[in-house]
Amino acid sequence: MRIGVIGTGYVGLVVGACFAATGNDVICVDRDAAKIRMLKRGRIPIYEPGLEELVRRNREEGRLTFTTKLPEAVRGAAVVFIAVGTPTSEDGSADLQHVLAAAREIGQALSGPTVIVDKSTVPVGTSALVHDTIAAVTSQPFSIVSNPEFLKQGAAVDDFLKPDRVVIGTNDPDAAELMRELYRPFTRTGAPIMVMDPASAELCKYAANAMLATRISFMNEVANVCERFGADVDQVRQAVAADRRIGSAFLFPGVGYGGSCFPKDVKAIVKFSSEKRYRFRILEAVETVNERQKIRLLERLDEHFGKRLKGRTVAVWGLAFKPRTDDMREAPAVPIVEGLLARGAKVRAYDPEAHEVAKRLFKSRITYARHAYDALTGADALVIVTEWNDFREPDFARMKRLMRQPVIFDGRNLYDPAQIRERGFEYTSIGRP
């Protein structure tokens, strides 16, 4: 099948490479000429395990091509995916300008019957807007499908190739059948293909992400209560997770969630619900708790050093919002580093993948260590923000020798408090005595 993908960001690149991997001919388009040149050389502009190899292999085999010219991706395609960004507007709503601009250009380029798929995360009602935008500029027959993505950064390729479910939102039976055919290679082990109306499909992604964000904020609130009473959040979490109705996923306390999805989607569902005169109070609280949680470690540093951080060197391990990605959008590390700088501290940071992204954010205001231990030399404290595997079993004796003061503020509860104190460290974590 010939497929066009509009946008070569995180979602578009995964979609294009994975559909090409099952034998489809895929053309991905992006206005960023530098990005397209990079992709044509077999390199990708983001870090995502397994994706660069998948792109390179399918490009070499001729099934995956890249262009800056949208009509080349649309003409002759049976299916065209819209996978452009929907950033948060100032009022919290999803900004649809890129989606509607892509829809307009697609309509102008249509040369025959085409299924046009909203793959971007869009508010309820966007399918109708996209339909009307395209219908205004073409007389060619087309159908609109909402097909939300459920990709985890750091595991996106596996998520696409082995999905939990595929959601297809359309009122056109023929378009639904074409989408079933397209996704059948990925659902042979029994993952359901769920066909529903467009509004329900559009809400699925928001509801899923809002639920996961709620679990994170809830457990962070439990951790904060544990600190007040001297309870151990790990013990509480394990007992709660043992309930088969609840389970263990997304119940780990820390410094809050970040990334390109949870913050944006929580804001968006609150906003579009309010437009129908419904106040989503739970998610308002989820967002408030998360923003507050991001500065918890700063408060603990203030307590420890008596608000005297000026001139002190603080090492930071982890800058990406989660492991296995270089994405720093809404990352807890950003307000933490900014807070340290505002207090006059010198920041020396290390992340296995996010250094280049961090340099665009912080520029020369912080020092970028080449290795984790390099960040510790002469440090008055270590702040752990991202739970990379690299940090789970370090050489504590070496750490203690390198640091000016053996003080650790662990925002991800990586270490056993009793054991690390026996090694001579002062240790602060989240929700544990």
Residues noted as catalytic: 261
Residue in this structure with the two tokens 């900014």, named with its chain if needed: 338
Residue in this structure with the two tokens 């709660």, named with its chain if needed: 240
Classify 313 as helix, strand or coil: strand
H runs (alpha helix) in 41-125: 51-60, 70-74, 97-109
The Cα 360–Cα 102 span in angstroms is: 28
The DSSP code sequence of 30-46 is: -S-HHHHHHHHTT--SS
Q: Virtual CA dihedral for 148, 149, 150, 155, nearest 10 degrees?
A: 180
Asked whether 23 and 63 are in contact (CB, 8 A), the reply is yes
The DSSP bridge partners found for residue 193 are 166
Q: In what order do the strands lie in the sheet containing 142-146?
A: 64-67, 25-29, 2-6, 79-82, 114-118, 142-146, 166-169, 193-196
Strands (E), 24-179: 25-29, 64-67, 79-82, 114-118, 142-146, 166-169
